[in-house]
Structures are given as structure tokens and as C-alpha cells.
Amino acid sequence: MNEDVPVPGPGDPGRLEALCSALAEELKAMQPFLGIMREQLSGAVAESDGAVVEVITRINTVHGLSAAQAERIEQSMRQCLKLVEATREQAGFNREVMGLVRTELDTHGRELAQNLARTRDLNQEVRELRRIVELITDIAGQTRLLAINAAIQATHAGAAGAAFAVVAAEVKTLSARTTGAAREIADKIGRLSERMTGEMALAEAGSGVVEASDRQLRGILEEVEALEARYAEAGGQLQGVLGTLRGSNAEVVAQLTGALGQLQFQDVLRQRLEQVGHGLEDLAGHARELSLSLADGAWEGAGRATLEERLARHAASYVMASQRSAHAQVLGGTKAEDSGPAIELF
Amino acid sequence: MTKTILIVDDSATMVLSVKSTLEMNGYKVESAADGALALLALKKGLKPDLILTDVNMPNMDGLELIRNVKALPGFRFTPILTLTTESQASKREEGKKLGATGWLVKPVAGADLLKVIKQVLPGS
């Protein structure tokens, strides 16, 4: 109220005029007041817009970083898997090769054993031969003695024994030759026997080496099989980790998607605040018209929208059930409900 | 094949929020600030697999956009979903008559939006 204007007393005829004038001034002052409120609302909407944009930008950044990290980890895991698989395949190949080597060793070992058996048999027969040669030598010795005896007897027989002495001499010669041949055979048999003994020793040593190699190979094969199994297990574990990683990443995306959906509240709030802003603007306009009318000293109601009419226009422009509900809550009336489900496919 | 979705909304934050949601989940996204700009883009050659539009917008509202898109050659069977705060039954009914595929009231949870889109765009 303007303090320079004297307030008329109760009986003053100019009182109504003064009151109207004062009221007009107040109504005029409502315009900037309401304008300020509208600006505050606009400012709040703009600030919330900015904040939402920033939040969305951060969410996108988080998603980008998370996706990049997940991709890097997945690439590393895939490379590890490839390496594990290649190593497992190599181990399998080595196992097969060692299996073939063992089979060869088995065959070789069996052949060696057979050769050794044959050599032992042969050695035994050579020993038999020696015995026979000794017998021949013995027989040759006895034959020589007989021949000597026969020569002596032939000498005693005189001329009648001359032919017998010749035979005896021949027998003695034969015996000497037999003894010589038997000695030669015995020498050869001896040398042969020595050689065969040497060969047997070598064959036995070789058989021992084959057995030792087979034992070693068996041991290595078991380790390779165990390694193969461990690589298969590692591969399975890596696959499991990959699966977990993908699941975690999907969960991150789901959570960020949820957060983005929540931000839609800002659009709903903006629309409601904008509606309030329009209402304040309308009210400011109404106050201005009133102040002009009062300043003139007359209220020309005809042709001017009343506050009730303005409010009805606002109500007609509501889009949300929550707006209609708030209106009904103040003025009375049925609380509005949404006209259908929030999500409807036709 | 990556599906393309056209978002039409006069709210920049709404476009950003929905665009981010869809791109994060493997969709390609284009946007327009109102129905008139969206129609222009379609006439210039943009061929989205789905249109997601607000209803109350300046220049051309969502219902008018649906009417125009359905009349455009090559777009008769393009699915159109509304994503709006509009809750009046008459508007919903009008949208249905004009050929909208569905009506979604804001705010819609991200997971629900993706579920509806997957139903409307099999193979996405």
C-alpha cells in the first residue's frame, strides 16, 4: 500500500475509491511477484534438465568404461582359452605318439626276448657239440691206443702180421687226424661259444634297456595324461569365468538401464511445473486486468474471463491423472484415475 | 541385424534418456524434437524399424504424426509406439484408431520398455 495516500475514515465518501485505488496498486504489484515465481520455476526446471543431462552423460561414460573393460577381459580370456586348447591338443598328440613308441618298444622287446631265447638254445646246442667233440677225441685216443696195440701184436705175428701192421699204422694215422680235426672243431666251437655268450650278454643288456625305457615312457605318459586332464579342466574353468563375466556385464547394463528409466520422472515433473508456470502467468494476467479495471473505478466484468473460467481452461489442458487428482483434491470432485494400463499393446 | 528406432519428443532429457537406454541395449537410434521434424526426416529417406513418439508436442503432435506416417508410402506397417504422459481415454482411443501399435505412459521402466520393443520387433 502507498503510504503517501491518506487512508480515509469509515464515514468518508471517497473511501471506496481510495480502497479501489489501493487494491489496484496491490494487484499491479502481483504481476512482478508472480513473474518472479514463474522465473523461479523455469530456473528449477532448467537446472533439473542440466542435472539430468549430466547424470545421463555419467551413466553413458560408466557403461562405456565397463563395456571396454569387459571386452578387454574377454579378449584376454579368449586368448588364454586358445592357448589352453592348443596345449591340450599338443598333449593329446604327444600322448598318441608315445603310445605308438610304447607299442614299438613292446614289439622290439618281444623280438629281443625271442632272439635271446633262440641264442640260449643255440648256445646249449653248441655245448652239446663240445661234448660230442670230446667224445670223438676220446674215441680217437682209444683208437690210437688200439692201433699201437695192433702194431705191437702185428710185430709179434711176424710176417703174417705185416698187413695187419699196415692197417694198424693207417688206423693210427686216422686216429691222429681225427684227434687233430676234433681239436680244431673244439677250438672253433670254443670260439663260437664265447661269441654266443657275448651276444647273449648284449641281448640281455638290450632287453634290460628296453624294459627301463618302457617304464620311463609309461611314467611320462601318465604325466602327459594328467596334464591333458588339467588343461581340459582349466579350459572348463576359463569358460565358466567367461560366462560369469558376460553375466556380470549384462547385470551392469540392466542396472544402468534401470537408472536411465528412473530419470524419466524429470520429464513428468517438468510438465507439471510448466503447467504451474502457465497458471501463474494466467493469474498475473488476471491481476493486471483487475488492477486496470479498479484504477478506472469500474469493474467491467463482461468480456473478461473470471478466475473460475481461467481455472476451468487449465483443467481442460491437463494430460496427467495426477494433475486432475490435485485439482479435485482442492475443489472437491472425483479423484481421477489413469484411463488404462501404463503399457498397452493394441 | 541392428534395428533402428526413431524417437520423437520435445523434451531433450527424455530423448537422451531413452536414446541411451536403447543404444546400450544394441539399437541404433535417431531422434526428432517434434512431429513435423520427424515427418521431414522420414520423407528425406530415414527408414526406422520402429517409431517411438510423445503425444503432446509443438508444431505437430504425436497423433497427427501417426496419421501422416501411416499415409506415407512404405510406412504403412511400421510399428509406432507412443511414450507419453497423456492419460485421457479419448486420446488413447484415437491413437489406436489411427494405427498406433501400443500406448506407453511415462515413466516407463527401462526393462519394460525393452521388453515391449522386443515384442514389437521380433529378432531385435
The stretch A17-26 carries a mean pLDDT of 82
The number of distinct structural domains making up chain B is: 1
Phi/psi at B29 (5° precision)? -125, 135
Q: Do B13 and A266 touch (CB under 8 A)?
A: yes
Residue among A60, A268, A321 minimizing CB distance to B106: A268
Please report the pLDDT score of residue A8 as a whole number: 55
- The mean-pLDDT minimum among A57-66, A147-156, B89-98 falls in A147-156
Q: Would you state the cell numbers that stand for residue A189, as one nine-digit string? A: 666251437
Are A281 and A34 in contact, with CB atoms under 8 Å apart? Answer: yes
Please report the pLDDT score of residue B107 as a whole number: 92
Distance between CA atoms of A23 and A29, rounded to whole angstroms? 10
Please report the pLDDT score of residue A132 as a whole number: 87
Helix (H, G, I), strand (E, B) or coil at B123: coil
Domain of residue B36: give its range.
4-120
Residue in chain A lying closest to B56 (CA) = A319
Q: Would you state the cell numbers that stand for residue A140, as one nine-digit string? A: 680217437
Q: Would you state the cell numbers that stand for residue A264, as one nine-digit string? A: 524419466
State the virtual CA torsion across B22, B25, B29, B32 in degrees, nearest 10.
10
pLDDT band at B123 (very low <50, low <70, confident <90, very high): confident
Residue pLDDT, tens place only, A309-344: 899 999 999 999 889 988 988 888 766 666 688 899
pLDDT band at A9 (very low <50, low <70, confident <90, very high): low
Q: What is the pairing mode between strands B28-32 and B4-8?
A: parallel
Q: How many pairs of residues across A and B have Cβ atoms under 8 Å apart?
A: 115
Q: Would you state the cell numbers that stand for residue A247, as one nine-digit string? A: 553375466
Residue pLDDT, tens place only, B19-68: 999 999 999 999 999 999 999 999 999 999 999 999 999 999 999 999 99
- A316/B contact by beta carbon, under 8 A: no
pTM: 0.74
- Please say if the pLDDT value at position A6 is more than 70: no
- Tell me the CA end-to-end span of chain B in Å, nearest whole number: 8
Name the minimum distance, in Å, from the CA of A72 to any CA of chain B. Answer: 18
- Amino acid identity at A13: P
- Please say if the pLDDT value at position A298 is more than 60: no
Report whether the peptide linkage leading into residue A8 is cis, meaning its omega lies within 30 degrees of zero.
Answer: no
Q: Which residues in chain B are closer than 8 Å to A52, comparing Cβ atoms?
A: 13, 16-17
The stretch A38-50 carries a mean pLDDT of 93
- Please say if the pLDDT value at position A137 is more than 80: yes
Q: Do B112 and A271 touch (CB under 8 A)?
A: no
Distance between CA atoms of A268 and B11, rounded to whole angstroms? 10
Q: Do A346 and B102 touch (CB under 8 A)?
A: yes
Helix-strand-coil percent breakdown of chain B, rounded to 5? 45, 20, 40
Q: Which of A59-63, A117-121, A193-197 has the highest mean pLDDT?
A: A59-63
Please report the pLDDT score of residue A221 as a whole number: 85
Q: Is the ipTM here above 0.95?
A: no
- Amino acid identity at A185: I
User: Judged by CB atoms within 8 Å, which residues 134-173 of A form the interface with B?
Assistant: none
The stretch A269-276 carries a mean pLDDT of 93
The stretch A2-8 carries a mean pLDDT of 57
Q: Which residues in chain B are closer than 8 Å to A70, comparing Cβ atoms?
A: none
Domains belonging to chain A, first-starting first, are 15-304 (1.10.287.950)
Are A5 and A21 in contact, with CB atoms under 8 Å apart? Answer: yes
pLDDT band at A7 (very low <50, low <70, confident <90, very high): low
Q: Do B120 and A345 touch (CB under 8 A)?
A: yes
Residue in chain A lying closest to B21 (CA) = A257
Distance between CA atoms of A237 and A239, rounded to whole angstroms? 5
Please report the pLDDT score of residue A300 as a whole number: 55
Q: Which of A30-34, A115-119, A127-131, B100-104 has the highest mean pLDDT?
A: B100-104
Mean pLDDT of chain B: 95
Closest CA to A68 of A57, A78, A60: A60
Please report the pLDDT score of residue A190 as a whole number: 86
- B98/A contact by beta carbon, under 8 A: no
The stretch A252-262 carries a mean pLDDT of 94
- Amino acid identity at A334: T
- Tell me the CA end-to-end span of chain A in Å, nearest whole number: 61
Name the minimum distance, in Å, from the CA of B86 to any CA of chain A. Answer: 5
Other C-beta atoms closer than 10 Å to the C-beta of A39 total 13
Q: Which residues in chain A are closer than 8 Å to B12, comparing Cβ atoms?
A: 49, 53
Helical H segments across chain A, by residue range: 15-157, 162-262, 265-295, 307-317, 321-331
Residue A187 Cα distances to A132, A139, A182, A244, angstroms: 13, 18, 8, 85
Residue pLDDT, tens place only, A151-190: 898 888 888 888 888 888 898 899 889 889 888 988 888 8
- CATH for B81: 3.40.50.2300
Chain A interface mutation, best of B57, B83, B88, highest count of A Cβ atoms under 10 Å: B88
Q: Do B13 and A321 touch (CB under 8 A)?
A: no
pLDDT band at A209 (very low <50, low <70, confident <90, very high): confident
Name the minimum distance, in Å, from the CA of B46 to any CA of chain A. Answer: 25
- B82/A contact by beta carbon, under 8 A: no
Distance between CA atoms of A3 and A297, rounded to whole angstroms? 20
Mean pLDDT of chain A: 86
Residue among B20, B103, B108 minimizing CB distance to A60: B20
- A254/B contact by beta carbon, under 8 A: yes
- B70/A contact by beta carbon, under 8 A: no
- Please say if the pLDDT value at position A279 is more than 90: yes
pLDDT band at A193 (very low <50, low <70, confident <90, very high): confident
Please report the pLDDT score of residue A301 as a whole number: 57
Distance between CA atoms of A227 and A218, rounded to whole angstroms? 14
- Please say if the pLDDT value at position A281 is more than 80: yes
Phi/psi at A222 (5° precision)? -60, -40
Please report the pLDDT score of residue A1 as a whole number: 46
Q: Would you state the cell numbers that stand for residue A52, as one nine-digit string? A: 539430468
Residue among B14, B24, B89 minimizing CB distance to A339: B89
Please report the pLDDT score of residue B99 as a whole number: 95
Q: Do B13 and A267 touch (CB under 8 A)?
A: yes
Q: Is the model more confident about A1 or about A7?
A: A7
Strands in chain B per DSSP E: 4-8, 28-32, 50-53, 80-84, 102-105
- Please say if the pLDDT value at position A243 is more than 60: yes
Q: Which residues in chain B are closer than 8 Å to A264, comparing Cβ atoms?
A: 14, 17, 106-108
Which element (helix H / strand E) includes A343? Answer: strand A343-345
DSSP conformational letter for A83: H
Name the minimum distance, in Å, from the CA of A304 to any CA of chain B. Answer: 28
Closest CA to A139 of A175, A170, A95: A175
